[in-house]
Chain A
């Protein structure tokens, strides 16, 4: 049943040009950065004389592509997630889901998975693109894997938060703006507390937990953070929708 909801969401993302356009635009941006990265690699590396200055091609290109990806997703995810529930509220289609034999958790998790699987298309494409470096060089697949995993968890967290904000309002645009603000705040939180890395607020920052993946380090504490982040917002969304049924 969860999968059926996810399927429906995915279908509706592709039913309008919106889904296709976002996929195409983002892929264009990633492709451009990838190409630039490859072109610049030889220029930069030929200037680096000492071995310590040299980095592998995977890391050099990967850094620019994944850096861009995490930044762009900050804008793309709220745009995609804004409609998930608020649009249903506005066009009064929620009773369709509520009167089907589904629990609210199934509806929420289904919607979340629908969006995440759409975004996974992009993540997979990035991974495939970087893997093509293997044709003429020796790719560090471990580095790609950790980055892909980090990006995927980041994107899933963005989606969970976006889904929650979408459940709060009947206006998709408001949902998008609020989720963007919230995500942006969570991302840069650690900058404000750079002087005190042990502060709790700094620990909440998404960026702080994303960065280790970027340097190829998979830490279960970071994975746990993202999983908890996602679970929290999905639970909040379920509670919000349940309140609809109780309070009317």
Chain B
């Protein structure tokens, strides 16, 4: 294995049995996971499941009752200063000093994150450009709209180009165009760093992440790559629509089909064996026998359904 490959597989975040007890109740219990360089991790879960608490522990804002956090191999509890230097964090309530202008605030953020004095100007300019704030640099944060304040929050998290960026619901309060911008930004940061972000918008996870975790009642109930999630959703099913649908038996004769289910509006759900995808055969036979095929789609369980299934 070459050095290059070694760098590619470097683990940036390592959480071991993270547990946080609030008044006897476990708000987060035994959460363990790893994140590699270049991965974007989507963090999902219902309200109060422990997403924000976990993120607070990852960033050293809250001491875990049990377990440990390592950032690029550096322990957050033993050497918090070194570990925190590698993290950029945007909490749920964005921490902005509203009496400053955007530029002043970002300069302070850069300074506190130990950006060398010479490169502060460059870092501030770069962060503003990436978050689309350049034309707002001289405005007081107080006077910015909700969406722009959110951008300032993201800018302060990436200003020191940290190894790990942790964003707690970064797209809340943004308009659709801004959301697209921010998603692109997250993807871009994810190229050479690691990103963990939480959200309630489920499709966003599929668009941006290559790893998904679902947390429910403090426990990690799902932790897998995005391909697995897609696979989980598809489950070898097709939805077909026909003007003159044949009988169930006739459909079962098609090679590969194992089950037929009539659903509303003349649509039919077909289950098939994973080895044999029957779509081509269905189209051919439909034409031969004049079934009047007008629609054929893979049947996906909606993300919402997956989410509800997993969190119940």
Q: Which residues of A contact B (CB under 8 A)?
A: 1, 4-5, 7-8, 11-12, 15-16, 91-103, 245-246, 248
A14 CB → nearest B CB, Å: 10
B302 located at the interface, meaning its Cβ lies under 8 Å from any Cβ of chain A in the complex: no
Are B61 and A98 closer than 8 Å at their CB atoms?
Answer: yes
Are A95 and B114 closer than 8 Å at their CB atoms?
Answer: no
A171 CB → nearest B CB, Å: 17
B99 touches which one: A16, A95, A98 (CB < 8 A)?
A16
Q: Which of B19-46 contact A (CB under 8 A)?
A: 20, 22
Are A93 and B95 closer than 8 Å at their CB atoms?
Answer: yes
What would 10 A/B residue contacts be, using CB atoms closer than 8 Å?
A11-B104, A15-B99, A93-B97, A95-B59, A96-B97, A96-B156, A97-B112, A98-B60, A99-B84, A103-B80
Are A246 and B63 closer than 8 Å at their CB atoms?
Answer: yes
B137 CB → nearest A CB, Å: 16
Q: Give A246's nearest chain B residue, CB to CB.
A: B63
Most interface-central of B85, B89, B97, B104 (chain A CB within 10 A): B97
Indicate the size class of the contact surface on chain B: 20 to 34
> Which of chain A's residues have a CB closer than 8 A to the CB of B98?
91
B91 located at the interface, meaning its Cβ lies under 8 Å from any Cβ of chain A in the complex: yes
B100 touches which one: A12, A98, A103, A248 (CB < 8 A)?
A12
Are A4 and B95 closer than 8 Å at their CB atoms?
Answer: no
> Which of chain A's residues have a CB closer than 8 A to the CB of B112?
1, 4-5, 8, 97, 100-102
Q: Which residues of B contact A (CB under 8 A)?
A: 20, 22, 53, 56, 59-63, 80-82, 84-85, 87, 89, 91, 93, 95-100, 104, 108-109, 111-114, 156
A97 CB → nearest B CB, Å: 7
Q: Give B100's nearest chain A residue, CB to CB.
A: A15
Cα(A154)–Cα(B96), bound, Å: 33
Are B61 and A99 closer than 8 Å at their CB atoms?
Answer: yes
Q: Give A14's nearest chain B residue, CB to CB.
A: B99
Q: Give B58's nearest chain A residue, CB to CB.
A: A99
Are A12 and B97 closer than 8 Å at their CB atoms?
Answer: yes
A199 CB → nearest B CB, Å: 42
> Which of chain B's residues have a CB closer than 8 A to the CB of A7?
111
> Which of chain A's residues have a CB closer than 8 A to the CB of B95?
91-96
Are A95 and B91 closer than 8 Å at their CB atoms?
Answer: yes
Are B93 and A99 closer than 8 Å at their CB atoms?
Answer: no
Cα(A246)–Cα(B113), bound, Å: 23
> Which of chain B's residues have a CB closer than 8 A to the CB of A16?
99
User: 8 other contacts beyond A96-B96, A100-B112, A101-B112, with CB at 8 A cut-off?
Assistant: A5-B112, A12-B97, A93-B96, A93-B97, A95-B95, A96-B97, A102-B112, A245-B62
Are A248 and B22 closer than 8 Å at their CB atoms?
Answer: yes
A196 CB → nearest B CB, Å: 47
Cα(A69)–Cα(B111), bound, Å: 35
Q: Give A107's nearest chain B residue, CB to CB.
A: B112
Cα(A77)–Cα(B309), bound, Å: 58
Cα(A15)–Cα(B141), bound, Å: 12
Cα(A7)–Cα(B107), bound, Å: 12
Cα(A92)–Cα(B96), bound, Å: 8
> Which of chain A's residues have a CB closer than 8 A to the CB of B99?
12, 15-16
| With known contacts A15-B99, A99-B84, A92–B56 Cβ distance under 8 A | no
> Which of chain B's residues have a CB closer than 8 A to the CB of A248?
20, 22, 53, 56, 62-63
Are A245 and B63 closer than 8 Å at their CB atoms?
Answer: yes
A246 CB → nearest B CB, Å: 5
Most interface-central of B62, B93, B98 (chain A CB within 10 A): B62
Cα(A192)–Cα(B282), bound, Å: 100
> Which of chain B's residues have a CB closer than 8 A to the CB of A12?
97, 99-100
Cα(A12)–Cα(B91), bound, Å: 22
| With known contacts A8-B108, A92-B91, A101–B97 Cβ distance under 8 A | no
Are B61 and A245 closer than 8 Å at their CB atoms?
Answer: yes
> Which of chain A's residues have a CB closer than 8 A to the CB of B82?
101
Cα(A247)–Cα(B33), bound, Å: 24
Cα(A94)–Cα(B61), bound, Å: 9
> Which of chain A's residues have a CB closer than 8 A to the CB of B104?
11
